[in-house]
């Protein structure tokens, strides 16, 4: 419901329907008052002054008890934020009191660090042992075991460092810098592995589809702005729906849950919810998840999500890999990346359940087996938001050799200006019966595959292609390489870096300039000059 609808309803103009009949957020007055008390403390921090924090410390330490997890979470957040202020101010005693009042994983972590740094090693060790024996969350257990091992067990490196070092190294072309996951996926696909981009989306989708009735048919939303059921926030979901949850978990463990999930997809497709996006539902990935792993292990992870959905909402690995009918997970880490605590927790949790989960360490360098798709387009003009494509030429390069070509005229659905006809030689008669862009889009995407998009002045060609795909509601995203910028960097000193001038300098044939396939073929030869230098740089770094 929009803000306008709320206003019209309150004025009595718009009738209230069943979707606006919401359930109460709190079960009793005490819970509501306690939550309100600690919410007020959190809101007061917008001021940020010392007096506000001192008032917050008094109100937090003397505040009402909380009987629900929701209220406890609010109190812990208030205690943690207030404790941080006084810890930085050097008032360690007050900070310790606040952290002890919070009792959340965040408060416990700060308390351990504060005790250790102020010389109370015995207190720190005792608290760590309690956190290990009875952790409030998976993340708390990971922190406690890691900190205890480093500070009291004589180990020099933590769990995160050891896990990174043990990861599998994957050579990825450095054109993928900043977005390594597609590069890793391309390398693995060349090895015969089926790859799905999963991260948190896959598990959220599985959870939401499996428990749709409990979450969205049996539970009313707190408000029209809140699509996440409150029972997931206060961790009451398992208690409220124990019988049906156990039945569905048994179906997962026995390998019989896929039909249930597919029925939900068919019946509820497009219904709004706060768990997952329908645009990201991958039925094939769900099938691979449920059929490629031990179903009892999948049920174990889903059971943990039922117990604490908020605690398990993120940190799942980037990729799911399927080879020879067996599935595994991979978290991708490039140079300089660190493993966040939630990621480490999830990797260990998946492993403990019996699901294979590993780190993929990216080694950026020139990869001769990487596909480069050199593209050139001709258009009705230079404005990507208004002009249209009339011709596409593409050349696929692998290991410095042309391995495939693709070409098509395109009907731009508008007249080609005379000056463009004179420049390119492409007339209105030539494109009148040519396919529309929407009709060639699939073939071009198939040709691109896992390739890197290459062009001379790449922003022009890429911008037009992205706009055309956007017009047909399709996503277009590939790593880019510009041969103009690459030649400037690796072959400096020329007055002009236009395609025609560079072809003249380096003896590259350009007999039909401003036709897409001819220009793409010439650009591919410039790419090989650039890649020759990139390859030499890689050998020097390796040496």
Catalogue the active-site residues. Answer: 514
Q: What is the C-alpha separation between 204 and 216, in angstroms, rounded?
A: 14
Q: What is the C-alpha separation between 329 and 318, in angstroms, rounded?
A: 8
Between helix 105-117 and helix 121-133 the angle, nearest 10°, is 150
One DSSP character per residue, 134-182 reads: S-SSHHHHHHHHHHHHHHHS--SS-HHHHHHHTSEEEEEEGGGTT-HHH
One DSSP character per residue, 213-276 reads: IIIIISS--SBTTB-S-HHHHTT-HHHHTHHHHHHHHHHHHTT--HHHHHHHHHHHTT---SS-
- Return the structure tokens found at 348: 């260990």
Q: Say if CB 282 and CB 340 are below 8 A apart.
A: no
Q: What is the C-alpha separation between 189 and 500, in angstroms, rounded?
A: 36
Q: What is the C-alpha separation between 258 and 50, in angstroms, rounded?
A: 56
Please enumerate in sequence order all residues whose Cβ is within 8 A of that of 419, keeping only pairs 6 or more positions apart, or say none. Answer: none
Q: Say if CB 339 and CB 164 are below 8 A apart.
A: yes
Q: Say if CB 202 and CB 286 are below 8 A apart.
A: yes
* Number of Cβ atoms within 10 Å of the Cβ of 130: 12
Q: What is the C-alpha separation between 240 and 229, in angstroms, rounded?
A: 12
Q: Where are the alpha helices (DSSP H) in 492-515?
A: 499-506
In order of 84, 198, 526, the CA distances from 125 in angstroms are 21, 38, 62
Between helix 199-210 and helix 258-268 the angle, nearest 10°, is 90
Please enumerate in sequence order all residues whose Cβ is within 8 A of that of 220, keeping only pairs 6 or more positions apart, or say none. Answer: 21, 22, 23
Q: Say if CB 395 and CB 402 are below 8 A apart.
A: yes
- Return the structure tokens found at 274: 């706060």
Q: Say if CB 61 and CB 83 are below 8 A apart.
A: no
Q: Say if CB 441 and CB 469 are below 8 A apart.
A: yes
Q: What is the C-alpha separation between 360 and 363, in angstroms, rounded?
A: 10
Considering only CA atoms, which of 464, 468, 383, 454 is closest in space to residue 417? 383
Q: What is the C-alpha separation between 100 and 94, in angstroms, rounded?
A: 10
Q: Say if CB 318 and CB 331 are below 8 A apart.
A: yes
Considering only CA atoms, which of 275, 262, 280 is closest in space to residue 221? 275
């Amino acid at each position: 419901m929009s803000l306008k609808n709320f206003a019209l309803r309150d004025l009595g103009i718009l009738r209230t329907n069943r979707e606006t009949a919401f359930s109460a957020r709190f079960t009793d007055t005490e819970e509501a008052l306690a939550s309100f008390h600690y919410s007020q403390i959190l809101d007061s921090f917008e001021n940020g002054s010392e007096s506000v924090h001192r008032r917050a410390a008094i109100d937090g330490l003397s505040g009402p008890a909380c009987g629900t997890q929701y209220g406890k979470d609010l109190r812990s957040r208030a205690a943690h934020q207030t404790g941080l202020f006084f810890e930085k101010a050097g008032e360690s005693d007050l900070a310790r009191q606040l952290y002890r009042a919070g009792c959340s994983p965040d408060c416990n972590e700060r308390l351990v660090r504060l005790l250790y740094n102020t010389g109370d090693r015995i207190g720190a060790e005792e608290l760590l042992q309690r956190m290990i024996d009875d952790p409030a969350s998976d993340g708390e257990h990971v922190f406690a075991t890691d900190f205890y091992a480093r500070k009291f067990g004589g180990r020099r490196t933590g769990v995160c460092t050891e896990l990174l070092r043990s990861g599998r190294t994957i050579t990825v072309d450095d054109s993928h810098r900043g977005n390594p996951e597609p590069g890793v996926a391309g390398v693995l696909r060349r090895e015969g592995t089926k790859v799905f981009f999963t991260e948190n989306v896959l598990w959220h989708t599985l959870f939401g589809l499996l428990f749709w009735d409990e979450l969205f048919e049996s539970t009313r939303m707190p408000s029209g702005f809140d699509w996440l059921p409150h029972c997931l926030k206060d961790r009451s979901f398992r208690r409220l729906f124990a019988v049906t949850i156990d039945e569905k978990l048994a179906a997962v463990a026995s390998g019989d849950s896929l039909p249930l999930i597919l029925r939900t997809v068919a019946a509820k497709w497009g219904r709004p919810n706060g768990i997952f996006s329908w645009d990201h539902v991958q039925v094939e990935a769900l099938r691979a998840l449920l059929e490629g792993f031990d179903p009892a292990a999948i049920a174990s992870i889903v059971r943990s999500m039922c117990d604490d959905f908020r605690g398990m909402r993120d940190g799942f690995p980037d990729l799911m890999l399927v080879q020879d009918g067996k599935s595994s997970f991979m978290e991708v880490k490039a140079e300089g990346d660190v493993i966040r605590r939630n990621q480490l927790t999830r990797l260990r949790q998946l492993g403990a359940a019996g699901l294979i989960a590993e780190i993929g360490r990216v080694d950026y360098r020139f990869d001769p087996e990487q596909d480069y798709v050199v593209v050139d387009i001709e258009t009705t003009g230079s404005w990507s938001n208004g002009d249209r494509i009339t011709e596409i030429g593409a050349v696929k390069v692998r290991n410095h050799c042309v391995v495939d070509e693709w070409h098509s005229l395109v009907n731009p659905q508008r007249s080609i200006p005379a000056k463009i006809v004179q420049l390119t030689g492409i007339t209105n008669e030539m494109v009148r019966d040519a396919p529309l862009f929407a009709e060639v889009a699939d073939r071009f995407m198939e040709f691109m595959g896992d390739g890197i998009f290459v062009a001379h002045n790449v922003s022009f060609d890429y911008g037009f292609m992205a706009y055309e795909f956007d017009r047909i509601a399709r996503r277009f995203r590939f790593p880019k390489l510009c041969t103009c910028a690459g030649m400037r960097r690796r072959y400096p000193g020329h007055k002009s870096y236009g395609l025609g001038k560079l072809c003249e300098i380096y003896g590259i044939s350009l007999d039909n300039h401003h036709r897409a396939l001819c220009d793409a073929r010439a650009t591919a030869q410039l790419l090989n000059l650039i890649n020759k230098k990139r390859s030499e740089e890689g050998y020097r770094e390796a040496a």
